[in-house]
Structures are given as structure tokens and as C-alpha cells.
Amino acid sequence: MKSRRSTRNHLKSTLARWGVLLGLSLSIGCSSQDPAGLRLTLGEDGKGSIAVAALTLPELASIEQRDTTGVDWDLAARLTFTTGAFDSLDAVAFEDLEVDSVKFTDPGGTIRISIPRGPDAKWYKAIHASASDRGRLQKALDGAIDQIDLHENVTIAVEVENARVAASLVRTVPRVTVSEKRGLVSVVIPLQVLEAPGSPMILVINWEAIAAKK
């Protein structure tokens, strides 16, 4: 069985290899959720995948520009989408956001995810702009062809393939929403909630496998 460290290193290298830059105008749309967040997908064999979307303000020098004249570039916004694979969900961590435990029963199981918050938490800072930069980020988005509003939240999505799911926080937190649809759980967390001091939120997901039709 792989150690958490080796699995984490494998995941980071996989994420680096599969980094993809997506156009903001194609990805954000008019949703009440920002595109920043992460999604975990668990297969029936216990293996799965992770996708991370990070909304950032990169340095202009790091952005490759086309051959232009008469333009003084002053601001850039970027959505970076990365994907990876894992052999065991209970060995997965993204920064300090960790899967605490995964228990398989017949015909379902339970997942517990620890979601740190407060000024010392790292995971949400890796995928969204800081409070001091969000005004500049909205200014950059205002220049898009289609209107793009910044809602200042992040989403954690967990999908269990071929299963029914039910999820909740061990302790409810105001303004944090948890919803389920088929085999997908979505948790939308305002950045103001994540930036405020507080103990980690614990997300518990119970699932039951859907029997194949004969």
C-alpha cells in the first residue's frame, strides 16, 4: 500500500503534467458560483480522479502575448484547470485539505473530509485570489465580452459513481450550502467564511451503490 507522502507526490506530478489553461469566457458563465474549486470522483473500484480549478491574477510577464503594438497590458486573470488520478481516496490531500477517512461497506460507504478555514489555511488560497486582490480580479473580469460577476466563493464537489449520496457538515456553518444530486455532492463556501477564524469543517458523505439492472 502506498504511503500518503508517495501518493501525494504522485498526485502533484500528475497535476503538473496535465495542467490546462482554459478561457474564462467559456468557463465561468453567469452561475452564482465562481469556477474556483476542486472535484473528487470515486469509482466503484476505490480508485478515482481529482480536478482542481484555480482562479488567479498572474504576473503579466508570465502571460504569453501575441505580437501586438500600441497596447500597454496592465492586468490579467487566469483560470487554470488541472487533473490527476489516485489509487486510494483516503491518501488524498490538496494542500491542507485532507480526506480523513473512507470506509467501504456493502453496498456503500462513508467519506469524511476535513476542510480547514482561517487565515492559516492554505488550500483555498491556492485556488482563489486573496481579499486584497479580488477587486483587481473583478476589474479584469469586467473586460470580458460576456458579463462575468465574481461571487467570491469556492466549491468542493465529490462524486461517487453509480451511487446515491447523502451529505452534511458535522456542524452547520452559516452561508455554507451542501447539496446532493444523484451521485454528486456539492459544497459552496463563501471566501469570507474561509478567511474568518474557525475550526475545520467536517464534511460527511454517505453513499449507497445502485444495483445494476438485470
pLDDT at 29: 35
Q: Looking at this protein, which amino acid is placed at residue 44?
A: E
Q: Looking at this protein, which amino acid is placed at residue 188?
A: V
pLDDT at 180: 95
Which burial class, exposed, middle or buried, applies to 107 when counting CB atoms under 10 A from its CB (0-12, 13-18, 19+)? exposed
pLDDT at 3: 46
Mean pLDDT is lowest, of 20-29, 39-48, 156-165, 171-180, for 20-29
The whole-angstrom separation of Cα 126 and Cα 10 is: 19
C-alpha cell at 171: 456542524
The pTM is what?
Answer: 0.81
Instruction: Say if 63 falls within a structural domain.
Output: no
Tens digits of residue pLDDT in 40-53: 999 988 899 999 99
pLDDT at 202: 98
pLDDT of 184 > 70? The answer is: yes
Instruction: Say if 15 falls within a structural domain.
Output: yes
Annotate 153-192 with DSSP letters as a single string: EEEEEEEETTEEEEEEESS--TT-EEEEETTEEEEEEEHH
Instruction: Say if 34 falls within a structural domain.
Output: yes
Instruction: Say if 164 falls within a structural domain.
Output: yes
% the chain with pLDDT above 70: 82
Of the candidates 159, 158, 160, the residue with the CA atom closest to the CA atom of residue 44 = 160
Residues 6+ apart with CB under 8 A from 204: 110, 111, 112, 167, 168, 169, 170
Instruction: Say if 184 falls within a structural domain.
Output: yes
Mean pLDDT is lowest, of 7-21, 68-82, 181-195, for 7-21
Instruction: Say if 192 falls within a structural domain.
Output: yes
pLDDT at 75: 82
Between these two residues, 64 and 136, which has the higher pLDDT value? 136
C-alpha cell at 76: 490579467
Instruction: Say if 115 falls within a structural domain.
Output: yes
Instruction: Say if 214 falls within a structural domain.
Output: no
| CA distance readout (Å), 77 to 42, 58, 90, 145 | 31, 7, 33, 14
| CA distance readout (Å), 173 to 98, 151, 199 | 19, 18, 11
pLDDT at 5: 46
pLDDT at 163: 95
Q: How many CB atoms lie within 10 A of CB 109?
A: 19
pLDDT at 213: 63
Which strand (E) or helix (H) includes residue 207?
strand 201-209
Instruction: Taking residues 200-211, report their average pLDDT.
Output: 94
* Mean confidence (pLDDT) of the chain: 83
Q: How many domains does the chain have?
A: 1
Instruction: Taking residues 102-130, report their average pLDDT.
Output: 94
Its domain, for residue 42, covers: 4-58+75-209
pLDDT of 177 > 90? The answer is: yes
